[in-house]
Amino acid sequence: MDPLKKKFLEKSQELMQELKTLRKEKGDVKVGEVNLKQVLTGMRGVKSMVWETSQLDAMEGIRFRGYSIPQLREKLPSRKGDKQPLPEGLFWLMLVDEIPTQEDVEWLSNEWDKRSEVPEHTFAAIEALPKDTHPMTQFTIAIMSMQTESVFAQRYAEGMSKNDYWDASYEDSMNLIAKLPRVAAYIYRRSFHDGNHIKPDHSLDWAGNYAHMLGIEGEDFKSLMRLYLTIHADHEGGNASAHTVHLINSTLSDVYNSFAGGMNSLAGPLHGLANQEVIKFIFELIDELGTSKPSKEQLAEYVQKTLDEGKVIPGYGHAVLRQPDPRFMAQKTFAENYIKDSDHVQIVWDLFDVVPDILNSLGKVANPWPNVDAHSGAILVHYGLDEYQYYTVLFGVSRALGVLAATTWSRALGFPLERPKSVTSKWIKEFVNND
């Protein structure tokens, strides 16, 4: 058994026993109440699932196994010569709740490299699609096409014991994470570089190799990818993509089916697609205002006009956060350190000064601050990755780390099929009138 799997087994068996006892002895303890507003507005704040890998606080933002993003940047191992954390380290931390050593992350880089070969029929499935198919559609179809490799599906068909579900999920998760950069880079090169593909460099780490296969050379872009793929990895379990993965996997549908479902959810403009919408918004405002150096007054007018047209300001607002997103701040710090002169980055920073007051003035926006998606595009454009239709795929590759670590936990802890209750509006009216 590999070292990570062995550690996971020890930890998960212990926790499973604890949770079984808790359920038996304290199962009736109330953890909250649900009011009508929560039923009508997308279940905001309803505590309804266990998600081990990270937890979101409205004011502080995300913590991965208790560590904030600045702490991760300090404590997780980096590649020699780089300051940014390696996503391998975050996956290890999320899976076994321990900060890994340099040796651990090197083992994981090698392990993913060994598992990274993509089946030929996946490339054929991508090639069967029109070239201008949205990259997120190509991505989910590619993931689905790899379901033929599912260890879980195969072992289940052979009559696997429920005690082994976690093991098959671990194998599927490791395999899928390992293959994603190759698949995602293939989609990018196919869609935007005439199918001129770049072979993997097996001496590189997971994120560095992804950067290399995208065809954007230079150490700074590799550093950016390591940071980007770390900070987008997880945002507790209730966000739409994570929750989709959790729901699908609770039926014992395998990791490939579950993750593809989550990616379809990430592809919505209120969620992960917002990263493409933000830079599109910035490109359009530059075009319309006729300058790449607009004043704050011009930006304020443009934002107001967008709202007057009945549209949202992409990259602003959040269902849980009530402060500027620490993932936005981490990217701002990166840009301050690495990028000296970029009109797009300056616009992002000026919007940060302008948008919150305008959103606040509407009197209905719960969180006027920027979220993770407000910054990424401007940095990517600086490094030459300006094909914004691709941005959500980058997010998706990262999101695999969190949701698949969490899914392995769900199978190890034996969580049952998810099945909340729905009500009709007739039921609501009668219930409220009888109250």
Given the rule CB under 6 A, which residues bind ligand HAX? 239, 270-272, 274, 307, 312-319, 359, 364-367, 371-373
Joined tokens for residue 68: 């904030």
For ligand HAX, the closer CB: 149 or 325: 325
Tell me, letter by letter, the H, E, C secondary structure of 167-233: HHHHHHHHHHHHHHHHHHHHHHHHHHCCCCCCCCCCCCCHHHHHHHHHCCCCHHHHHHHHHHHHHCC
For ligand HAX, the closer CB: 105 or 303: 303
The least CB distance from residue 396 to ligand HAX, in Å, is: 10
Distance CA 198, CA 313 (A): 36
Q: Provide the β-strand partners of residue 61.
A: 57
Question: Dihedral through CA 87, CA 371, CA 375, CA 364, nearest 10?
Answer: 170
Distance CA 37, CA 43 (A): 8
For ligand HAX, the closer CB: 135 or 200: 135
For ligand HAX, the closer CB: 147 or 239: 239
Query: Which residue out of 167, 172, 325, 373 is catalytically annotated?
Result: 373
For ligand HAX, the closer CB: 261 or 315: 315
The least CB distance from residue 252 to ligand HAX, in Å, is: 27
Cα dist. 286→13, 289, 294, 295 in Å? 56, 5, 8, 11
For ligand HAX, the closer CB: 97 or 301: 301
CB neighbours of residue 331 within 10 Å? 25
Cα dist. 85→26, 81, 141, 230, 262 in Å? 40, 11, 30, 7, 25
Query: Which residue out of 243, 318, 375, 382 is catalytically annotated?
Result: 318
Q: How far apart are the first and last CA of the chain?
A: 57
The least CB distance from residue 239 to ligand HAX, in Å, is: 6
Distance CA 176, CA 182 (A): 11
- CA-closest candidate to residue 402, choices 8, 21, 26, 90: 90
The least CB distance from residue 60 to ligand HAX, in Å, is: 16
Distance CA 267, CA 116 (A): 24
Query: Which residue out of 271, 344, 375, 382 is catalytically annotated?
Result: 271
Contact between 46 and 38 under an 8 Å Cβ cutoff? The reply is yes
For ligand HAX, the closer CB: 109 or 244: 244
The least CB distance from residue 374 to ligand HAX, in Å, is: 7
Is 373 a known active-site residue?
A: yes
For ligand HAX, the closer CB: 108 or 372: 372
Query: H or E stretch including 55?
Result: strand 54-57
The least CB distance from residue 261 to ligand HAX, in Å, is: 16
Q: What are 388-391's contacts with CB under 8 Å, separation 24+?
A: 388/275, 388/276, 388/279, 388/280, 388/283, 389/134, 389/135, 389/191, 389/276, 390/135, 390/187, 390/188, 390/191, 390/192, 390/276, 391/275, 391/276, 391/279
Is 318 a known active-site residue?
A: yes
The least CB distance from residue 273 to ligand HAX, in Å, is: 8
Residue nearest to ligand HAX (CB): 317
Is 202 a known active-site residue?
A: no
The least CB distance from residue 258 to ligand HAX, in Å, is: 18
Could you give the residue numbers annotated as active site?
271, 318, 373
